[in-house]
Structure 1
Amino acid sequence: MNTNPVYLTHPYRREAEARVLSHTPEGGVICDASVFYPAGGGQPGDSGWISWGGQRLGIATALKGMGDSCVLVPSEAASLPPLGSLVRQELDWERRHRMMRMHTALHLLTVVIALPVTGGAIGAGKGRLDFLMPEPPEDRDGIEAALNALVDRDLPVSEDWITEAELDASPNLIKTLSVAPPRGSGPIRLVRIGQGAEQVDLQPCGGTHVARTGEIGHLSLGKIENKGQQNRRVNIALDL
Protein backbone atom coordinates (compact mmCIF):
# COMPACT_ATOMS: atom_id res chain seq x y z
CA MET A 1 0.00 0.00 0.00
CA ASN A 2 1.65 3.20 -1.22
CA THR A 3 1.03 6.84 -0.37
CA ASN A 4 2.15 9.45 -2.90
CA PRO A 5 4.53 11.76 -0.94
CA VAL A 6 3.16 15.15 -1.97
CA TYR A 7 5.07 16.61 1.01
CA LEU A 8 8.32 15.90 -0.87
CA THR A 9 7.37 16.62 -4.47
CA HIS A 10 5.43 19.79 -3.56
CA PRO A 11 6.55 20.89 -0.08
CA TYR A 12 4.68 24.21 -0.36
CA ARG A 13 1.30 22.59 -0.97
CA ARG A 14 -1.00 23.37 1.93
CA GLU A 15 -4.03 21.38 0.79
CA ALA A 16 -4.71 18.36 -1.41
CA GLU A 17 -7.45 15.88 -2.17
CA ALA A 18 -6.80 12.21 -1.53
CA ARG A 19 -8.72 8.95 -1.42
CA VAL A 20 -8.90 6.84 1.73
CA LEU A 21 -7.23 3.46 1.23
CA SER A 22 -7.53 1.94 4.71
CA HIS A 23 -7.80 2.42 8.46
CA THR A 24 -5.24 1.12 10.92
CA PRO A 25 -6.26 -0.92 14.00
CA GLU A 26 -5.21 2.07 16.13
CA GLY A 27 -7.60 4.42 14.33
CA GLY A 28 -5.26 6.00 11.80
CA VAL A 29 -6.16 6.90 8.22
CA ILE A 30 -4.09 5.91 5.17
CA CYS A 31 -4.68 7.78 1.92
CA ASP A 32 -3.31 7.40 -1.59
CA ALA A 33 -1.54 10.78 -1.27
CA SER A 34 -0.37 12.95 1.62
CA VAL A 35 0.62 16.57 2.14
CA PHE A 36 1.41 15.55 5.74
CA TYR A 37 5.08 14.74 6.39
CA PRO A 38 5.40 11.52 8.44
CA ALA A 39 7.76 11.80 11.42
CA GLY A 40 11.32 10.74 10.68
CA GLY A 41 14.93 11.87 10.66
CA GLY A 42 14.39 14.12 13.68
CA GLN A 43 11.52 16.02 12.03
CA PRO A 44 8.09 15.63 13.71
CA GLY A 45 5.05 14.62 11.71
CA ASP A 46 2.78 17.33 10.36
CA SER A 47 -0.54 18.25 11.93
CA GLY A 48 -3.70 19.74 10.46
CA TRP A 49 -7.16 18.58 9.40
CA ILE A 50 -9.01 16.35 6.96
CA SER A 51 -12.57 17.00 5.84
CA TRP A 52 -15.20 15.04 3.93
CA GLY A 53 -18.99 15.11 3.57
CA GLY A 54 -19.45 18.03 5.91
CA GLN A 55 -17.23 16.50 8.62
CA ARG A 56 -13.82 17.74 9.77
CA LEU A 57 -11.26 15.79 11.77
CA GLY A 58 -8.11 17.13 13.43
CA ILE A 59 -4.85 15.34 12.64
CA ALA A 60 -2.34 15.35 15.50
CA THR A 61 0.58 13.90 13.56
CA ALA A 62 1.57 11.68 10.66
CA LEU A 63 3.65 8.51 10.92
CA LYS A 64 5.32 6.12 8.51
CA GLY A 65 3.26 2.99 8.02
CA MET A 66 3.90 -0.33 6.36
CA GLY A 67 5.71 -0.15 3.05
CA ASP A 68 5.52 3.34 1.61
CA SER A 69 2.31 4.32 3.38
CA CYS A 70 1.69 7.39 5.55
CA VAL A 71 -0.65 7.12 8.53
CA LEU A 72 -2.64 10.18 9.60
CA VAL A 73 -3.25 10.04 13.35
CA PRO A 74 -6.45 11.80 14.55
CA SER A 75 -6.19 14.19 17.47
CA GLU A 76 -9.25 12.60 19.11
CA ALA A 77 -11.35 9.47 18.89
CA ALA A 78 -13.95 10.16 16.22
CA SER A 79 -15.64 8.66 13.17
CA LEU A 80 -13.19 8.12 10.32
CA PRO A 81 -13.85 8.84 6.66
CA PRO A 82 -15.19 5.71 4.90
CA LEU A 83 -12.88 3.60 2.77
CA GLY A 84 -12.77 4.90 -0.77
CA SER A 85 -14.05 8.34 0.16
CA LEU A 86 -12.44 11.54 -1.09
CA VAL A 87 -11.02 13.76 1.65
CA ARG A 88 -9.44 17.20 1.63
CA GLN A 89 -6.18 17.41 3.57
CA GLU A 90 -5.20 20.74 5.10
CA LEU A 91 -1.88 21.38 6.81
CA ASP A 92 -1.23 23.49 9.87
CA TRP A 93 0.92 25.51 7.49
CA GLU A 94 2.47 27.92 9.98
CA ARG A 95 3.84 25.00 12.02
CA ARG A 96 5.08 23.14 8.93
CA HIS A 97 6.77 26.21 7.45
CA ARG A 98 8.60 26.92 10.69
CA MET A 99 9.83 23.33 10.64
CA MET A 100 11.00 23.70 7.05
CA ARG A 101 12.92 26.82 8.03
CA MET A 102 14.46 25.13 11.07
CA HIS A 103 15.38 21.93 9.22
CA THR A 104 17.25 23.93 6.58
CA ALA A 105 18.92 26.00 9.32
CA LEU A 106 20.24 22.83 10.95
CA HIS A 107 21.83 21.81 7.65
CA LEU A 108 23.60 25.18 7.68
CA LEU A 109 24.74 24.53 11.25
CA THR A 110 26.60 21.42 9.99
CA VAL A 111 28.42 23.70 7.56
CA VAL A 112 29.48 26.15 10.26
CA ILE A 113 30.40 23.36 12.70
CA ALA A 114 32.07 20.80 10.45
CA LEU A 115 32.04 17.90 12.92
CA PRO A 116 30.22 14.54 12.92
CA VAL A 117 26.59 14.79 14.08
CA THR A 118 25.54 12.32 16.78
CA GLY A 119 21.89 13.32 17.16
CA GLY A 120 19.37 16.04 16.59
CA ALA A 121 15.79 17.26 16.83
CA ILE A 122 13.70 19.70 14.82
CA GLY A 123 10.94 21.84 16.30
CA ALA A 124 8.63 24.57 15.10
CA GLY A 125 10.96 27.41 15.97
CA LYS A 126 13.74 25.67 17.87
CA GLY A 127 16.14 22.88 16.99
CA ARG A 128 19.37 21.26 18.07
CA LEU A 129 22.20 19.09 16.87
CA ASP A 130 24.58 17.00 18.94
CA PHE A 131 28.16 17.02 17.68
CA LEU A 132 31.19 14.88 18.36
CA MET A 133 32.88 17.83 20.05
CA PRO A 134 35.13 17.05 23.07
CA GLU A 135 35.81 20.74 23.79
CA PRO A 136 33.29 23.59 23.69
CA PRO A 137 33.71 26.15 20.89
CA GLU A 138 35.67 29.24 21.81
CA ASP A 139 33.74 31.74 19.67
CA ARG A 140 29.96 31.52 20.19
CA ASP A 141 29.39 34.88 18.53
CA GLY A 142 31.41 33.73 15.52
CA ILE A 143 29.19 30.65 15.08
CA GLU A 144 26.01 32.72 15.16
CA ALA A 145 27.45 35.28 12.75
CA ALA A 146 28.60 32.60 10.30
CA LEU A 147 25.20 30.91 10.44
CA ASN A 148 23.34 34.13 9.66
CA ALA A 149 25.81 35.00 6.92
CA LEU A 150 24.81 31.78 5.12
CA VAL A 151 21.13 32.67 5.59
CA ASP A 152 21.72 36.16 4.19
CA ARG A 153 23.39 34.77 1.06
CA ASP A 154 19.91 33.54 0.05
CA LEU A 155 21.30 30.34 -1.43
CA PRO A 156 18.96 28.06 -3.41
CA VAL A 157 17.96 24.75 -1.82
CA SER A 158 17.40 21.87 -4.23
CA GLU A 159 17.40 18.08 -4.35
CA ASP A 160 19.17 15.36 -6.26
CA TRP A 161 19.07 11.57 -6.22
CA ILE A 162 21.87 8.99 -6.16
CA THR A 163 22.09 5.23 -6.00
CA GLU A 164 23.26 3.32 -2.94
CA ALA A 165 26.46 2.45 -4.80
CA GLU A 166 27.14 6.13 -5.49
CA LEU A 167 26.57 6.93 -1.82
CA ASP A 168 28.95 4.14 -0.79
CA ALA A 169 31.56 5.72 -3.07
CA SER A 170 31.10 9.10 -1.35
CA PRO A 171 30.81 8.33 2.39
CA ASN A 172 31.74 11.94 3.23
CA LEU A 173 28.19 12.94 2.23
CA ILE A 174 26.86 11.33 5.41
CA LYS A 175 27.26 13.73 8.34
CA THR A 176 25.11 11.91 10.89
CA LEU A 177 26.50 9.06 12.96
CA SER A 178 23.15 8.30 14.61
CA VAL A 179 20.83 8.06 11.58
CA ALA A 180 21.80 6.26 8.37
CA PRO A 181 20.06 6.95 5.04
CA PRO A 182 17.39 4.34 4.24
CA ARG A 183 18.51 1.47 2.06
CA GLY A 184 16.76 -1.10 -0.03
CA SER A 185 14.00 1.18 -1.30
CA GLY A 186 15.62 2.70 -4.40
CA PRO A 187 17.47 5.99 -5.02
CA ILE A 188 18.57 8.11 -2.06
CA ARG A 189 17.54 11.76 -1.88
CA LEU A 190 20.19 14.44 -1.42
CA VAL A 191 19.51 18.01 -0.31
CA ARG A 192 21.82 20.60 -1.84
CA ILE A 193 22.34 24.15 -0.56
CA GLY A 194 23.89 26.47 -3.12
CA GLN A 195 24.85 25.68 -6.70
CA GLY A 196 28.17 25.25 -8.48
CA ALA A 197 30.95 27.26 -6.87
CA GLU A 198 28.38 28.60 -4.40
CA GLN A 199 27.45 25.15 -3.07
CA VAL A 200 27.96 24.93 0.69
CA ASP A 201 26.24 21.66 1.61
CA LEU A 202 25.12 18.35 0.12
CA GLN A 203 23.84 15.51 2.28
CA PRO A 204 21.22 12.72 2.32
CA CYS A 205 17.91 13.88 3.79
CA GLY A 206 14.24 12.94 3.50
CA GLY A 207 12.80 16.02 5.21
CA THR A 208 11.10 19.19 4.02
CA HIS A 209 13.06 22.37 3.36
CA VAL A 210 12.57 25.95 2.25
CA ALA A 211 13.46 26.94 -1.33
CA ARG A 212 16.15 29.46 -0.38
CA THR A 213 18.16 30.10 2.78
CA GLY A 214 16.95 33.72 2.96
CA GLU A 215 13.51 32.36 3.82
CA ILE A 216 14.86 31.05 7.14
CA GLY A 217 15.20 34.49 8.68
CA HIS A 218 17.56 35.53 11.46
CA LEU A 219 18.79 32.79 13.81
CA SER A 220 19.93 32.93 17.43
CA LEU A 221 22.44 30.56 18.95
CA GLY A 222 21.19 29.10 22.22
CA LYS A 223 22.84 26.95 24.86
CA ILE A 224 25.81 24.75 24.06
CA GLU A 225 25.38 21.86 26.48
CA ASN A 226 27.75 19.14 27.60
CA LYS A 227 26.15 15.78 26.73
CA GLY A 228 28.94 13.41 27.69
CA GLN A 229 32.70 13.26 27.44
CA GLN A 230 32.73 13.64 23.67
CA ASN A 231 29.41 15.32 22.83
CA ARG A 232 28.09 18.88 22.82
CA ARG A 233 24.49 19.88 22.09
CA VAL A 234 24.11 23.09 20.09
CA ASN A 235 20.69 24.77 20.22
CA ILE A 236 19.42 27.32 17.73
CA ALA A 237 16.15 29.23 17.36
CA LEU A 238 14.26 31.24 14.76
CA ASP A 239 13.94 34.85 15.87
CA LEU A 240 10.47 35.19 14.35
Structure 2
Amino acid sequence: MYRLFFVLLLVFPTWAQDNITDTGCTIDLSPIAAQLIQAQAHASQGDTTGALSIIADIQAQLDALTAACEGQESSDISETTTPQATPQASQTILLSGYQFDLPADWLVIDDAGVTLAGPTDGAARAIIRPNGLLRRGEQAVAIVIGDAARIAPELTPDATAQEIITLYRQTFEQDFNFSLDNNLSQITINNRESWRFRFNAPGYSGLVNVTVLDNDTLMLIIVAASVDEIDSAESILNTILGTIDEI
Protein backbone atom coordinates (compact mmCIF):
# COMPACT_ATOMS: atom_id res chain seq x y z
CA MET A 1 0.00 0.00 0.00
CA TYR A 2 2.81 2.40 0.82
CA ARG A 3 5.16 1.47 -2.06
CA LEU A 4 4.89 4.74 -4.00
CA PHE A 5 4.88 6.74 -0.77
CA PHE A 6 8.29 5.22 0.02
CA VAL A 7 9.56 6.01 -3.48
CA LEU A 8 8.29 9.59 -3.38
CA LEU A 9 9.63 10.07 0.14
CA LEU A 10 13.14 9.36 -1.11
CA VAL A 11 12.75 11.21 -4.42
CA PHE A 12 10.91 14.20 -2.91
CA PRO A 13 12.21 14.38 0.70
CA THR A 14 10.16 17.47 1.63
CA TRP A 15 6.85 16.13 0.26
CA ALA A 16 5.16 15.64 3.61
CA GLN A 17 7.00 18.39 5.49
CA ASP A 18 5.42 20.97 3.16
CA ASN A 19 2.06 20.06 4.70
CA ILE A 20 2.92 21.04 8.29
CA THR A 21 0.21 23.26 9.76
CA ASP A 22 -0.21 25.21 12.97
CA THR A 23 -3.08 23.03 14.20
CA GLY A 24 -1.01 20.53 16.20
CA CYS A 25 -0.25 18.14 13.36
CA THR A 26 3.54 17.96 13.03
CA ILE A 27 4.95 15.61 10.41
CA ASP A 28 8.64 14.73 10.40
CA LEU A 29 9.42 11.75 8.17
CA SER A 30 13.21 11.92 8.42
CA PRO A 31 13.43 8.97 10.88
CA ILE A 32 11.14 6.91 8.65
CA ALA A 33 13.35 7.64 5.63
CA ALA A 34 16.32 6.28 7.57
CA GLN A 35 14.34 3.17 8.51
CA LEU A 36 13.46 2.59 4.86
CA ILE A 37 17.13 2.50 3.98
CA GLN A 38 17.72 0.02 6.81
CA ALA A 39 14.86 -2.18 5.59
CA GLN A 40 16.28 -2.20 2.06
CA ALA A 41 19.71 -3.14 3.42
CA HIS A 42 18.21 -6.13 5.26
CA ALA A 43 16.29 -7.19 2.16
CA SER A 44 19.38 -6.90 -0.05
CA GLN A 45 21.22 -9.23 2.34
CA GLY A 46 18.42 -11.79 2.19
CA ASP A 47 17.09 -10.97 5.65
CA THR A 48 13.41 -10.78 4.73
CA THR A 49 12.27 -11.20 8.34
CA GLY A 50 14.34 -8.23 9.48
CA ALA A 51 13.13 -6.09 6.58
CA LEU A 52 9.48 -6.93 7.24
CA SER A 53 9.88 -6.13 10.93
CA ILE A 54 11.16 -2.65 10.10
CA ILE A 55 8.42 -2.15 7.49
CA ALA A 56 5.77 -3.11 10.06
CA ASP A 57 7.17 -0.51 12.45
CA ILE A 58 7.14 2.10 9.67
CA GLN A 59 3.53 1.28 8.83
CA ALA A 60 2.53 1.67 12.48
CA GLN A 61 4.18 5.10 12.56
CA LEU A 62 2.41 6.14 9.36
CA ASP A 63 -0.93 4.96 10.73
CA ALA A 64 -0.34 7.02 13.87
CA LEU A 65 0.52 10.11 11.82
CA THR A 66 -2.57 9.64 9.67
CA ALA A 67 -4.79 9.39 12.74
CA ALA A 68 -3.20 12.47 14.31
CA CYS A 69 -3.51 14.62 11.20
CA GLU A 70 -6.79 13.34 9.76
CA GLY A 71 -9.28 16.05 8.95
CA GLN A 72 -6.73 18.73 8.11
CA GLU A 73 -6.75 18.17 4.34
CA SER A 74 -8.95 21.19 3.68
CA SER A 75 -6.36 23.55 5.15
CA ASP A 76 -3.69 21.97 2.95
CA ILE A 77 -5.76 22.51 -0.18
CA SER A 78 -6.51 26.10 0.73
CA GLU A 79 -2.83 26.81 1.22
CA THR A 80 -1.77 25.31 -2.11
CA THR A 81 -4.30 27.31 -4.13
CA THR A 82 -3.85 30.74 -2.54
CA PRO A 83 -2.64 33.16 -5.23
CA GLN A 84 0.90 34.39 -4.67
CA ALA A 85 2.85 37.39 -5.91
CA THR A 86 3.63 37.67 -9.62
CA PRO A 87 6.12 34.88 -10.38
CA GLN A 88 9.62 35.70 -11.53
CA ALA A 89 10.37 35.32 -15.22
CA SER A 90 12.38 32.21 -16.04
CA GLN A 91 12.77 30.67 -19.46
CA THR A 92 15.89 28.51 -19.69
CA ILE A 93 16.49 26.26 -16.69
CA LEU A 94 19.93 24.82 -15.89
CA LEU A 95 19.82 21.55 -13.96
CA SER A 96 22.39 18.81 -13.34
CA GLY A 97 24.35 19.48 -16.52
CA TYR A 98 21.29 19.97 -18.75
CA GLN A 99 19.15 22.89 -19.84
CA PHE A 100 15.51 23.07 -20.94
CA ASP A 101 12.73 25.61 -21.35
CA LEU A 102 9.74 26.38 -19.14
CA PRO A 103 7.08 29.08 -19.59
CA ALA A 104 8.71 32.49 -19.26
CA ASP A 105 6.43 33.73 -16.47
CA TRP A 106 6.69 30.66 -14.22
CA LEU A 107 8.14 30.64 -10.74
CA VAL A 108 10.93 28.04 -10.42
CA ILE A 109 11.81 26.57 -7.01
CA ASP A 110 14.76 24.39 -6.04
CA ASP A 111 13.37 22.30 -3.20
CA ALA A 112 16.02 19.92 -1.78
CA GLY A 113 17.24 18.90 -5.22
CA VAL A 114 13.79 18.76 -6.79
CA THR A 115 12.89 21.41 -9.35
CA LEU A 116 9.31 22.62 -8.92
CA ALA A 117 7.74 25.13 -11.28
CA GLY A 118 4.37 26.74 -11.90
CA PRO A 119 2.61 30.08 -12.35
CA THR A 120 2.50 30.61 -8.55
CA ASP A 121 4.27 29.18 -5.53
CA GLY A 122 1.07 27.40 -4.52
CA ALA A 123 0.62 25.80 -7.93
CA ALA A 124 4.26 24.72 -8.09
CA ARG A 125 4.05 23.00 -4.70
CA ALA A 126 0.59 21.50 -5.23
CA ILE A 127 2.02 18.74 -7.40
CA ILE A 128 4.02 17.23 -4.51
CA ARG A 129 1.27 17.53 -1.91
CA PRO A 130 -1.09 14.60 -1.29
CA ASN A 131 -4.15 16.86 -1.52
CA GLY A 132 -2.82 19.35 -4.05
CA LEU A 133 -5.31 21.25 -6.19
CA LEU A 134 -4.68 23.11 -9.44
CA ARG A 135 -7.12 25.74 -10.65
CA ARG A 136 -8.41 25.94 -14.20
CA GLY A 137 -5.64 27.24 -16.44
CA GLU A 138 -2.83 26.27 -14.04
CA GLN A 139 -0.08 23.75 -14.71
CA ALA A 140 2.89 22.63 -12.62
CA VAL A 141 5.92 20.36 -12.91
CA ALA A 142 8.25 18.48 -10.59
CA ILE A 143 11.56 17.35 -12.07
CA VAL A 144 14.40 15.15 -10.82
CA ILE A 145 17.52 14.25 -12.82
CA GLY A 146 19.67 11.36 -11.63
CA ASP A 147 20.44 7.67 -11.95
CA ALA A 148 17.97 4.84 -11.42
CA ALA A 149 18.83 4.61 -7.72
CA ARG A 150 17.74 8.24 -7.31
CA ILE A 151 14.61 8.03 -9.45
CA ALA A 152 13.37 4.63 -8.23
CA PRO A 153 15.24 3.44 -5.12
CA GLU A 154 12.97 0.41 -4.83
CA LEU A 155 14.39 -1.06 -8.05
CA THR A 156 17.89 -2.26 -8.90
CA PRO A 157 20.50 0.40 -9.78
CA ASP A 158 20.48 -0.72 -13.43
CA ALA A 159 16.69 -0.47 -13.84
CA THR A 160 15.56 0.75 -17.25
CA ALA A 161 13.25 3.68 -17.96
CA GLN A 162 10.49 1.23 -18.89
CA GLU A 163 10.88 -0.67 -15.62
CA ILE A 164 10.78 2.56 -13.63
CA ILE A 165 7.68 3.93 -15.36
CA THR A 166 5.98 0.55 -14.92
CA LEU A 167 6.58 0.78 -11.16
CA TYR A 168 5.11 4.28 -11.00
CA ARG A 169 2.10 3.31 -13.10
CA GLN A 170 1.40 0.22 -10.98
CA THR A 171 1.59 2.24 -7.79
CA PHE A 172 -0.56 5.14 -9.02
CA GLU A 173 -3.24 2.67 -10.09
CA GLN A 174 -3.14 0.01 -7.36
CA ASP A 175 -1.99 1.90 -4.27
CA PHE A 176 -3.29 5.43 -4.86
CA ASN A 177 -6.40 4.35 -6.81
CA PHE A 178 -5.85 7.10 -9.37
CA SER A 179 -7.64 6.52 -12.65
CA LEU A 180 -5.37 6.06 -15.67
CA ASP A 181 -6.39 7.18 -19.14
CA ASN A 182 -4.25 4.86 -21.22
CA ASN A 183 -1.51 2.26 -21.22
CA LEU A 184 2.19 3.01 -21.04
CA SER A 185 3.36 4.86 -24.12
CA GLN A 186 6.84 5.17 -25.55
CA ILE A 187 7.80 8.30 -27.44
CA THR A 188 10.99 9.77 -28.88
CA ILE A 189 11.42 13.55 -28.78
CA ASN A 190 14.66 15.37 -29.50
CA ASN A 191 16.35 11.99 -30.13
CA ARG A 192 15.68 10.88 -26.55
CA GLU A 193 13.47 7.96 -25.56
CA SER A 194 10.71 8.55 -23.02
CA TRP A 195 8.07 6.42 -21.34
CA ARG A 196 4.91 7.98 -19.91
CA PHE A 197 1.35 7.50 -18.72
CA ARG A 198 -1.60 9.75 -17.91
CA PHE A 199 -3.40 9.81 -14.57
CA ASN A 200 -6.29 11.58 -12.87
CA ALA A 201 -5.96 12.55 -9.20
CA PRO A 202 -8.72 14.21 -7.15
CA GLY A 203 -7.23 17.71 -7.51
CA TYR A 204 -5.55 17.58 -10.91
CA SER A 205 -4.79 15.50 -14.00
CA GLY A 206 -1.28 14.79 -15.15
CA LEU A 207 1.43 12.64 -16.65
CA VAL A 208 4.41 10.79 -15.24
CA ASN A 209 7.34 10.66 -17.66
CA VAL A 210 10.79 9.06 -17.51
CA THR A 211 13.32 10.09 -20.16
CA VAL A 212 16.72 8.59 -20.91
CA LEU A 213 19.28 11.42 -21.05
CA ASP A 214 22.35 9.20 -21.36
CA ASN A 215 23.42 5.69 -20.38
CA ASP A 216 23.35 6.41 -16.64
CA THR A 217 21.17 9.51 -16.33
CA LEU A 218 17.39 9.66 -16.30
CA MET A 219 14.91 12.51 -16.01
CA LEU A 220 11.71 12.05 -14.02
CA ILE A 221 9.01 14.60 -14.85
CA ILE A 222 5.62 14.76 -13.17
CA VAL A 223 3.51 17.39 -14.90
CA ALA A 224 -0.05 18.29 -13.98
CA ALA A 225 -2.90 20.63 -14.86
CA SER A 226 -6.39 21.35 -13.64
CA VAL A 227 -8.75 18.39 -13.87
CA ASP A 228 -9.87 17.83 -17.50
CA GLU A 229 -7.04 20.02 -18.85
CA ILE A 230 -4.45 17.29 -19.20
CA ASP A 231 -3.63 18.24 -22.81
CA SER A 232 -2.12 21.50 -21.57
CA ALA A 233 0.08 19.51 -19.18
CA GLU A 234 1.27 17.28 -22.01
CA SER A 235 2.10 20.36 -24.08
CA ILE A 236 4.35 21.61 -21.26
CA LEU A 237 5.97 18.17 -21.03
CA ASN A 238 6.70 18.03 -24.75
CA THR A 239 8.19 21.53 -24.64
CA ILE A 240 10.59 20.45 -21.89
CA LEU A 241 11.64 17.34 -23.81
CA GLY A 242 11.90 19.20 -27.10
CA THR A 243 14.29 21.80 -25.68
CA ILE A 244 16.45 19.73 -23.33
CA ASP A 245 20.13 19.81 -24.19
CA GLU A 246 23.37 18.94 -22.46
CA ILE A 247 25.30 21.95 -21.22
TM-score after normalising by structure 2: 0.26
Larger helix fraction of residues? 2
Q: Which has the larger radius of gyration?
A: 1
TM-score after normalising by structure 1: 0.26
Larger strand fraction of residues? 1
